């Protein structure tokens, strides 16, 4: 397997983290996005969206972070990470939607503003980040991980941009359940951290 | 089954449409969002996000449109709509992410501005809508439906806000493959349309 990634991308970190939690190896290929490597015809052939991560496995190309999580759990038969009972199927999917929606356009976007100068309205995306963090915090009051007392790919999908939220001026202090949950994920065997940017290291 | 919905919500339409395509019945309960029915303690108990749709099935509550699609396909064993081979699993998931991400914060948001006066930057969300429509159009050049030549829940997840895009001042004329795909979905047995709003009827 090859994983095209960028260390500073939380979307890519989801895939790197999950591979490591599974104890699986992939060749990591860094895509030089700051210098436009995601806009070359070769890369756009792999992923017309021009984004990281992309997983290439024996000719099959998977180019969305949630899809990579589902693909890897399915390929390796890891029902612990992606349970197949009806209730869990629905719950995991719900939080994958949150990762692709409120998280991407909340804490992720807020961090894109400070780290990469992206053109989002900071007040809008920071407010959205707090709304979703409050809901996640409320959910985590009831169990150790997001759908129950064991970690699933839904936790992996949510983790990276939540831990990186302070880099986008989204304070995690009010969310005690979220902070405990981050620590629980960080204690899992195989955990690999989401590197801080210069913005995060200054804070 | 009970489905809490709002006829003008594209997220709710995904669930209504898929139930009908499956030939399954649910009791439809309209949530009076314009008058705040989604902010009552009873409704927030069902869905802390205060959104539609919510599916209630024998005590189990599913409160995200993608999750409802996955839940229904799994419950009724409809592998035609949610194929379980590794490649299809990844492809469907990728487009569910797009539905929860670029579609929700693109054409859906653009329509929320014109129909409900939502506070998004119209130029930002309209531009995002065109970027994703161009990618969908490009994908549909290769096959009849979004992951191949048969419809899946990924098509259902994408349909409602694409067909409603013109209501948010997102012109579909440049996207001929998208327009043919909309017609193909509308020709499926059991199809039910996404009602136009006053904005759409004036256009």
Kindly list the distances between the CA atom of residue B99 and the CA atoms of A67, B58, B95, in Å, as whole numbers in the listed order: 13, 27, 6
Per the DSSP assignment, residues forming a β-bridge with B27 are B2
Q: Given CB atoms, is A180 within the 8 Å cutoff of chain B?
A: no
Residue-level pLDDT at A197: 87
Q: How confident is the model at residue A203 (pLDDT cuts 50, 70, 90)?
A: low
Domain count, chain A: 2
Q: Using an 8 Å Cβ cutoff, are B157 and B65 in contact?
A: yes
CA B202 to chain A, closest CA, distance in angstroms equals 30
Residues of A in contact with B142 (CB under 8 A): none
CA A202 to chain B, closest CA, distance in angstroms equals 30
CA B189 to chain A, closest CA, distance in angstroms equals 26
Average pLDDT, rounded, for chain B = 96
Q: Are residues B30 and B91 in the same domain?
A: no
**Closest chain A residue by Cα to residue B88:** A71
Let me know if residue A124 belongs to a domain.
Answer: yes
Which of B49, B97, B98 is facing A135, going by the closest CB pair? B49
Q: Using an 8 Å Cβ cutoff, are A105 and A55 in contact?
A: no
What is the per-residue pLDDT across A87-97, written as a single tens digit (0 to 9) for each?
999 999 999 99
Cα distance between residue B107 and residue B120, in whole Å: 11
List CB contacts of B20: < 8 A, sequence separation 6 or more.
B190, B191, B192
Pairing of strands A60-62, B27-30: unpaired
Q: For residue B161, give the CATH number of its domain.
A: 1.20.1050.10
Let me know if residue B80 belongs to a domain.
Answer: no
Cα distance between residue A162 and residue A145, in whole Å: 14
Query: Which tokens in the block code for residue A175?
Result: 């969310």
Whether residues B100 and A97 touch (CB distance < 8 A) is answered with yes
What is the per-residue pLDDT across A2-59, written as a single tens digit (0 to 9) for each?
999 999 999 999 999 999 999 999 999 999 998 999 999 999 999 999 999 999 999 9
Q: Is A126 helix (H, G, I), strand (E, B) or coil?
A: helix
Which of A67, A86, A105 is facing B94, going by the closest CB pair? A67
Query: Which tokens in the block code for residue A29?
Result: 């290929």
Whether residues A86 and B66 touch (CB distance < 8 A) is answered with no
Q: Are residues A51 and A93 in the same domain?
A: no
Q: Are residues B101 and B38 in the same domain?
A: no
- Range B22-31 average pLDDT: 98
Domain encompassing residue A51: 2-75
Q: For residue B7, give the CATH number of its domain.
A: 3.40.30.10
């Amino acid at each position: 397997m090859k994983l095209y990634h960028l260390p500073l991308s939380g979307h890519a970190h989801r895939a790197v983290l999950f591979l490591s939690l599974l104890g699986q190896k992939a060749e990591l290929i860094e895509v030089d996005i700051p210098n436009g490597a995601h806009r070359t015809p070769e890369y756009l052939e792999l992923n017309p969206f021009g984004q990281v991560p992309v997983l290439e496995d024996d000719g099959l190309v998977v180019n969305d972070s949630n899809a990579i999580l589902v693909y890897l759990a399915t390929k390796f038969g890891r029902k612990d990470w992606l349970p197949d009972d009806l209730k869990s199927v629905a719950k995991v999917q719900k939080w994958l939607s949150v990762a692709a929606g409120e998280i991407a356009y909340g804490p992720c976007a807020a961090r894109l503003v400070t780290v990469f100068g992206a053109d989002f309205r900071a007040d809008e995306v920071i407010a959205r980040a707090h709304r979703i963090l409050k809901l996640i915090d409320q959910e985590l009051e009831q169990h150790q991980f997001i759908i129950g007392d064991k970690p699933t790919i839904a936790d992996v999908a949510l983790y990276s941009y939540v831990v990186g939220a302070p880099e986008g001026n989204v304070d995690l202090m009010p969310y005690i359940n979220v902070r405990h949950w981050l620590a629980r994920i960080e204690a899992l065997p195989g955990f690999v951290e989401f590197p801080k940017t210069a913005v995060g290291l200054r804070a």
